[in-house]
Structures are given as C-alpha cells and as structure tokens.
Amino acid sequence: MLNEVPQLAQLLKLLQQVPYLASKNIYRVANYFLTLDNHKMEQFCGALLDLKSNISKCPVCYMWCTKGKACSLCSSLKRDQSLVCVVESWHEMLMIEKTGGYKGVYHILGGLICPLEGIGPDQLTIMSLVKRVESGTVKEIILATSQTPEGEATSSYIASKLKMMPVIISCLARGIPVGSSIESMDRLTVYKALSERRPF
C-alpha cells in the first residue's frame, strides 16, 4: 500500500533513521509533518539546512558556534579561561550552564571511551585537551564525566595523561541528589556520600 504513496514511504524511511524516536511513534511524527502548514514546514527545513551552512565547532572547546564568529565562551573576558570543565557532549555543557554557578570554560570530548563501540581516546578531543594544558593557560581541570564505567574510564585516562603537568585535576562531588531520600538511593551512592562527607 505504501508503495503507492512514495512520498510518505520515503518520509517514514528517513524518520526511522532518526535516533531516539520510538518506531511506534514514527507514524505519529509523520502525521505531525503531514498536517503542518507550509510556513512552519519551510521554517523547519530552513532551520535544518541553516545548521549545515552556518554552524561549526569551536577549535578550542569544541562547542557548536556560529561559523566565522569566535566562540562566545572561549573569547569571553567574564569567564575564567584558566578553569576548564571537561564534559562528554554539549548537552552536559548546557546543563552546567543552566546552573548559572560556573564561571570557567569547557572542553567537549565528543563522547566517552568505549572499546565495545570502537571509541578509543583518538576518536575524542583528548589530545587537544592535553595540548591546551601544555600551552600553560590552564590552572584547573574539572573532570565532569558521568558516573558510569565509561565516564570513569575516560576521566581516569585523561587524569593519567595530565598527571605530570602542573595542573590541578578535580572531579564532581558524589553523593545524595538534592531532594532525594537516602532510602531510595543505591548502596554505592550512600557509601560514597558517607565516605566523602563534608563539614556541615
């Protein structure tokens, strides 16, 4: 039946390639686009095509930025350029920015070391981070990767690379999330929260 409406078949095929879109929902998303008005549709496609032509990665921190313009963080005088927070991707960076409490800059790794998926240190921006530290402008590196095996492995690898350099290496605090009960936490988190306790 779908062969008779090739436009629809093609859209469904392309939507299937979009990650994190449950296959059950593909028809519903297709429906959204089918009933979208012309103006909105052009706006959507325009935004997509705009990405390709007007966005590129900052050569220092690897955040997406407008092509031809300096990265707003790496060129900001208000940010502490000697404090670098190392994150997996730009989503985590935005999460940290939303806290409003961080005044340093970032380094986006572009993933985590994961041998099972064929991602080694060379696929990430670790060498570029090492060079950034070697240049002497960085005083402290905050390793803000996830508390997962891959995140910990990546942090350990980076720490080992920076071990001999005159830079402070820190990582995020581990403990009970704000608003959570101890009861609902796993054993390891409670253990870490206890052993890494802070003065009241």
Name the residues that contact a copy of itself, by CB under 8 A.
Answer: 1-2, 4-8, 10-11, 14, 18-22, 25, 27-29, 31-34, 38, 41-45, 47-52, 54-55, 63-66, 72-73, 89-91, 93-94, 97
The answer to whether the CB of 162 falls within 8 A of the CB of 154 is no
DSSP code per residue over 46-88: HHHHHHHHHEEE-TTT--EEETTS--TTTT-SSSEEEEEEEES
Nearest to a copy of itself of 10, 156 (CB atom): 10
Closest approach, Cβ 106 to a copy of itself, in A, equals: 10
Nearest to a copy of itself of 8, 169 (CB atom): 8
Closest approach, Cβ 107 to a copy of itself, in A, equals: 15
Q: Give residue for tokens 């071990």.
A: 163
Alpha-carbon distance values, 176 to 94, 120, 171 (Å): 22, 31, 16
Closest approach, Cβ 194 to a copy of itself, in A, equals: 30
C-alpha–C-alpha distance, residues 200 and 188, integer Å: 22
Closest approach, Cβ 1 to a copy of itself, in A, equals: 4
